[in-house]
Each structure stands twice: as C-alpha cells, then as structure tokens.
Amino acid sequence: MILTFLGTSAGTITTERNVSASLLQLTARSNRLWLFDCGEGTQHQMLKAKISLSKLEKIFITHLHGDHIFGLPGLLASRSLNQHAMPLTIYGPKGIRQFIEMTLNISCSMMTYPLQIVEIEQATTLYKDEQVTIYCDELAHRVQCFGYRIEEAERAPKLDIVKLQTENIPVGSLYGELKKGKIITMPDGKILDGKNYWLGKKPGFKIAILGDTTPCDASIRLASEVDLLVHEATFKHELQEKAQLVGHSTTVDAANIAKICQVKRLIITHISTRYGLSDNESLLAECRQIFPQTDIAYDLFQVNLV
C-alpha cells in the first residue's frame, strides 16, 4: 500500500498546505485507488502526484465541513471528461447525497460513469472482499464525523526457495503450483505438498484514518494495534481547551491515542493554519515525548507500506 497526503491543513488552504485529502493505493491489489476526504484543490494535488482521476474506485468522506468536501464537485465533473473512468462509489455521513446531487444539478454537470452514493449513519462494515475490509465508526466532532479502519487480508505465503533448491527441485512453472499449495507428483514418483514449502502467511496491513475528533472510544476501537494511524493534531498542547471547544485534538491527544492503541506508527495531519512548516519540529516534539514513532504529514508526503 502507498498512502499519499494530498492536503494537510485544517480549515483553509495556506501557501504551504492544501486542505484535507489523502489517497490510498492498494498496489498489490491491481493498483486500486481510494480517496479519503476531498478538500478544495484535491484534483490539482492529484495531478502533482501523478495520480489518475479515472482510476479512483472509492471516496470516503469523514464529515461535511467544507475543508473536507468542497473539492468533490469539481473532481467528479472533471472525471466525466475521461471516457475510460471506472465506476465510482462515495461513502459519507447523511447529507453527502444532497450536497453532491444539488451541486452537480445546479451546475448542469453530467456524469459519464456510474456513480453510487452511500450514506453512513452508524458504525458498520462498509465494504469487504477477499482482499480488503473497511470499517467505520462515529467520532466526536461538532458534526457527525466518521473514522475509517482498513484491514488487508493475509498475504499469500512465500515459497522456501532454499529448501526447494536443496531438494534439487527445478525452477519453473512447478513453483507456481507449489505456491498455491497444490500436491505435485514428480516424474520420479516423488510427491511434493506445496504447503510443506511455504514460509508462512504474512498478516495484511491495518490502517486507521480518522476524521476530525476529540479523543473518544471510537478512536481507540478504530486504531487498536494498527500498523499506521493517521490522526489529526490541529493544535499544540497549550491550546487544549480551545481544541476541546471546537471538537479537535492536540498533538498530545493524538500521541496518547497512539500509545493506548499500541500502534506501530503515528502520522499527524490537519494542522492549524497558525503553524507553518517551520513549526513541524516543535509539533513533532510534543508527540514524540509520548509516542516516539510519530511523523508529521506535509502535502504530497508518501508512506510506503511493504
């Protein structure tokens, strides 16, 4: 998986940061593209990151504040100009359908691809196939807001090449059959059980991408033992009271959630416009006092999960 941060600012754009959006590429799964939030200018950021609009498969909206959705109408309309755009599904809180349909109708924008809109009202399993599952849960913000947890299925086992070579089993299409766990009879009568040459399955990655929120039980449920937690850290800890008043988290809040949930890595985003990139180190320092495995997102920052 590759996670690209397309926008990392809270509330409004700055000269250094665009507003909220991040894109998950499931590279081992036919390069599927999932977008989380779509602030103003998201499609421009996708151009910079060389990501194709036409290949977007799903969009997950955390909540209906403008800095998370004002990029949607333009992105959807631009996508219609591509004759090869695949079907698209948008998930979001109740009201997302009205927002999309009204803006597209008023602007006389025509959709040239199938568009499905799914409104979320409570915690649920949103989507599941043989490759990936995505859950949502309701966070604690000033409006209904959801966080998302993505769980990849166990990865196929690798073959023990050294063992195969030690037993003088020739390289070829046979290896592919053994990797599938099949039982093969060799020309000399020797029987090979593919499972005896597996190195074991590798657990799939788990990622939590949370929307705007103060610390809450849902954050803990979504982030429990994930490989990567993406958590807002709108303010420094000195503005804790303000953060609670407006339904946001501080650096310390995000770090505490990461520590409680025993995540492997924390990335903070949704940074207040009062802080520039020059403030990154001081923001990080507050987090790392509590949770050392913390990084701060900036626009077009990519995280590779391999």
Catalytic residues: 67
How far apart CA 71 and CA 290 sit, in angstroms, is 35
| Distance linking the first and last C-alpha atoms of the chain | 7
How far apart CA 302 and CA 2 sit, in angstroms, is 7
Among the listed residues 162, 159, 152, the one whose alpha carbon sits nearest the alpha carbon of residue 179:
159
How far apart CA 126 and CA 149 sit, in angstroms, is 10
Which phi-psi region, left, alpha or beta, contains residue 216 (left: φ > 0; alpha: ψ -120 to 50)? beta
Pairing verdict, β 228-232 and 183-185: unpaired
Among the listed residues 221, 235, 306, 217, the one whose alpha carbon sits nearest the alpha carbon of residue 263:
221
User: Which residues have CB under 8 Å from 193's CB, separation 6+?
Assistant: 183
Half-sphere exposure of 285 (CA within 13 A, CB side): 5
Among the listed residues 21, 90, 35, the one whose alpha carbon sits nearest the alpha carbon of residue 98:
90
